[in-house]
Structures are given as structure tokens and as C-alpha cells.
Amino acid sequence: MASRLYEWLDSRLRLKPIGKTLLDEPIPGGASWNYVFGSATLFLFVLQAVTGMFLTMYYVPSTDHAYDTVQYIQHEVMFGWFVRGLHHWGASAIMLAIGLHMLQVFFDGAYKPPRELMWMVGIVLFLLMLGFGFTGYLLPWDQNAYWATQVGINMAGRVPIVGDLMVKVLRGGETLGALTLSRFFALHVLFLPSMIIFGIMLHLFILRRVGPAGPWDEKKAKEGSETFYPRQVYMDAVVMLGVFLIVATLAATIEFPLADKADPSDHSFVPVPEWYFLFYYQLLKYVHGPLEPFATWILPGLFFLMLFLLPFLDRNPQRRISRRPVTLGVGMVFLVIVFGLLGISLRDLYAVPKTDPSVIRGKELVVKFACKTCHRIHGEGAAIAPDLSFVADRRPDREWHLRHFRDPQSVSPGSFMPKLPLSDRQLNDLTSYVLTLKSGV
């Protein structure tokens, strides 16, 4: 049935020449697991696009509703937590895949003539993906998103001459608010995807025109070639499946909780950027005074300019690793610095105690159901009902609290506390929070 359908479509659309062009491209030296990172990156971009489309069905890009709609997606929409998890972990995976793809091209010397344009387009795509990460981070509109974006915009403002203009363009006004969120949403779902798709098409077009570079070992490359199908297609498919299973497992097992809703008046909040920006934030901690502009915009600008012009800066025609000591040495030093700063930042970050996501949700339920109109918690609220500030010292039994929230009369006869319309998950969340209300915490 499938073959008959293909023949019918081919008789009208002439699909076989397209398939031949896509699948019969020769790979110098044959198929290799070393070439799978580009396909993995493309697959993850498609995954981000698909999950992003589903998220936009519920998301509202306004300061009044953005945070609540993300909460609604996470807790109320069927499989919303899973789709959001795929999108979150997929964003990290795509940055990792891009990094590995760039390293493979760098170490193989595949940026050398005649593939300079393909490398340069790839660097532009890398910058656009960083833009994806930056614009998407604001959309949940929680404290971390708000203040991390504020830091990023302030850094852009330090660029001479165009800094003020960049800040106004990013903010959409004088302050970070509703116009900023709307603008970042438009960039994230309209402008950047359009530019990325065009860049990917251009990247693949150049690849088809100049062909794959093959291995850096010229002897191995001259031994023969192999078509893209079937072995390279098989390797790419295996890696795509493996990447999806890893991302899906992370989405299913590790929740990415929101911080409190964005509060522009809370200047004490210390934001944490995404992991792929952490090394840069760590670097800025060590640079103060006159050198601050150098680390803020001069150093990143020079880095990306040199990366963009690498094919012209590296005039050594050799691709063999042993013949490129200077270029590879500089690259290794850069990697050591980046991973060193990243390691220090992660060490400091994970040294800070974390709050259980269930406890955070339970605290939100206390606000949602206005529990403090009757109960006092650490000095806040009324004293109509028992003070809950240290209730876990008196009642450490989890089951007792679960029964109490399901039916207050069953454990406290005569209680005027009403039954709350809570799901099993909400009951557990509220209980988790109440059990943190004890002395010494």
C-alpha cells in the first residue's frame, strides 16, 4: 500500500530525483558516528518547534497572565508538564548538540576552504540559538526569568554608542514590563524561528554544493566514499532516537519548577541563568572597575568575530591534527577556561540549599486558598484559627495532615475549616509545605 502511494505521488511530483539527491550524496571516507551531531541538532530544533507550538496554545504573553498560564500548563493541562519538560530539556540538549557539532568541525578542520561560508553561516545560527535561549527565559515571568533578563539587558546597555538603543529595542520602553514580554515572545516564536529556518536551509544548501569534508586523515578519505544512505542514515536515526529518549526521561523524572511570580520591587533576588551562560556570569564576578567593559562586551565581541573569521585567520591548509598545533592549542585553552568557570559556577550553585518543588507548590496553595485569613504563619495572617508557624513540631505525622486536609472533621471534630477542593497531588504538596513549618527552619 505504501509503495503504491509512493509510486502515485512520484508520477505527479517526481520524488525519486529528490530522494536520490538527498540520500546518494557521497561521504569521503564513509559513514561515521563522528558526523551525527548536525542531524541531532536539526532533530532537536524540530522537537523545540513542535513542543513550542503546543505550549503557545495555552500561553498568554502578558505580565498579568504569563506566570499563571505556565502554572496551568504545568499542573492542569493533560501532559502539559511533559511537553514543557521536553521543551525545557530540549533547549539544553540543542545547545549541547551545537557545541559538539562545532567542536567536531573545528577539530576535523572542516571549516577550511571551500567550506568557509558553511562555517560562517553555522556561527550565525549559533548566535541565533543563543538568542532563543535568552528570549525564551523571560516567558515564564517568574523571579528568575525577570531578574536574569534584567541583568542581560543592563549588560547590553553598557555597549558604547548603541547601548541605549539596544536597551530600548529589547525593553520596548523605559522599564522591563508588558512590552518587553510581548516583544520577547514575538522574537521567540516568530522572528528567530524564521531566521533559523532560513539559516538551516542555507547551511544545507552550501553543504550540498561543496559536499561533506570527510575525515581529516587524507589517506583514509582517499580510500573511498560511501553514500549517505543507508549507513549514515541509520547512525543518525539511532542518535536521534537516543537523544529523544534521554530528553523524554529527563522531562518525565525531573521537574523544572517556577520561582515566585516576577516582582520588580524585590531587588534582593539573585537570578540564575541557564547553564550555557553560567561560565560567562562566573567570569563577570572576577572583573570589576576599568576592566568591566572589556569583559562585558569587548571580549565576547572579539570572540565571536574571531570565531566567525576563523577560516581566514587559520591560513594553515593542513587539516591533520598534528599539523595544526597553534589553532588546536588555542582551542584547548579556551575549552579549559570555559569548563573551569562552568565547574566553579555549578559548585557554588549547588552548594546553596534547594527547596523541594512540592513545597513550593504547597506554599502557592496557601496563598491560593487564602489560608492566612484564619491562620498565622511566622507572624503573617490572622489569629482566628491555630497558629501554624511550628505546626510540624506538634504534628509530624504526614498521614494525619493528609486526612485533615481531605476532611477536617474526621481528625478535628468541631473544626470550622471547610473541605478544600484538592487533588491528590495538591494534598501532598500542601502537606509537604506544612511539614516544613517547624522550629529551627
| Tens-digit pLDDT profile for residues 385-402 | 888 888 888 888 888 888
Q: Which amino acid is at 196?
A: I
pLDDT tens for 324-333 read 999 999 999 9
pLDDT band at residue 198 under the 50/70/90 scheme: very high
83-92 burial code (b ≥16 CB/10 A, e <16): bbbbbbbbbb
Domain ranges of the chain: 2-350, 357-434
pLDDT tens for 246-265 read 999 999 998 887 877 888 88
Cα distance between residue 190 and residue 186, in whole Å: 5
Cα distance between residue 330 and residue 338, in whole Å: 12
pLDDT band at residue 233 under the 50/70/90 scheme: very high
Per the CB < 8 A criterion, the answer to whether 393 and 439 are in contact is yes
What number is the average pLDDT over the span 145-161? 88
Sign of the CA dihedral with 250 first, then 251, 255, and 260 last: positive
Residue 78, CB-side half-sphere exposure with 13 Å CA sphere: 0
Q: Indicate the SS3 state at residue 83.
A: helix
Per the CB < 8 A criterion, the answer to whether 423 and 429 are in contact is no
Which one of 231-240, 280-289, 383-392 scores highest in mean pLDDT? 231-240
Least confidently predicted of 73-82, 131-140, 363-372: 363-372
What pLDDT is stored for residue 354 in this prediction?
61
pLDDT tens for 4-52 read 888 888 888 888 887 777 788 888 988 899 999 999 999 999 999 999 9
Cell of 140: 515564564
pLDDT tens for 49-65 read 999 999 999 999 999 99
Cα distance between residue 357 and residue 368, in whole Å: 16
Per the CB < 8 A criterion, the answer to whether 369 and 420 are in contact is yes
What pLDDT is stored for residue 378 in this prediction?
81
Proportion of the chain above pLDDT 70, given as a percent:
98
What pLDDT is stored for residue 382 in this prediction?
80
Q: Which of 109, 110, 54, 57 is nearest to 87 (CA)?
A: 54
What number is the average pLDDT over the span 225-238? 92
If you count them, how many residues does the chain have?
A: 441
Cell of 213: 569534508
What number is the average pLDDT over the span 201-213? 92
User: In the predicted model, is pLDDT for residue 420 greater than 70?
Assistant: yes
User: In the predicted model, is pLDDT for residue 380 greater than 60?
Assistant: yes
Per the CB < 8 A criterion, the answer to whether 377 and 426 are in contact is no
Q: Indicate the SS3 state at residue 416.
A: coil
* Lookup result for grid cell 562552568: 342
Architecture (CATH level 2) of domain 2-350: Up-down Bundle (1.20)
Cell of 428: 501532598
What number is the average pLDDT over the span 192-217? 93
pLDDT band at residue 352 under the 50/70/90 scheme: low
Which CATH number is associated with domain 357-434? 1.10.760.10
Helix (H) or strand (E) holding 381: strand 380-381
Q: Indicate the SS3 state at residue 106.
A: helix
What number is the average pLDDT over the span 86-102? 97
Proportion of the chain above pLDDT 90, given as a percent:
48
What pLDDT is stored for residue 440 in this prediction?
61
Distance of CA 158 to the CA centre of its chain: 25
pTM of the predicted model as reported, rounded to 2 decimal places: 0.81
Q: Which of 17, 22, 45, 30 is nearest to 204 (CA)?
A: 22
CA-to-CA dists, residue 207 to 116, 157, 192, 311, 417, angstroms: 11, 37, 22, 16, 69
Per the CB < 8 A criterion, the answer to whether 304 and 123 are in contact is yes
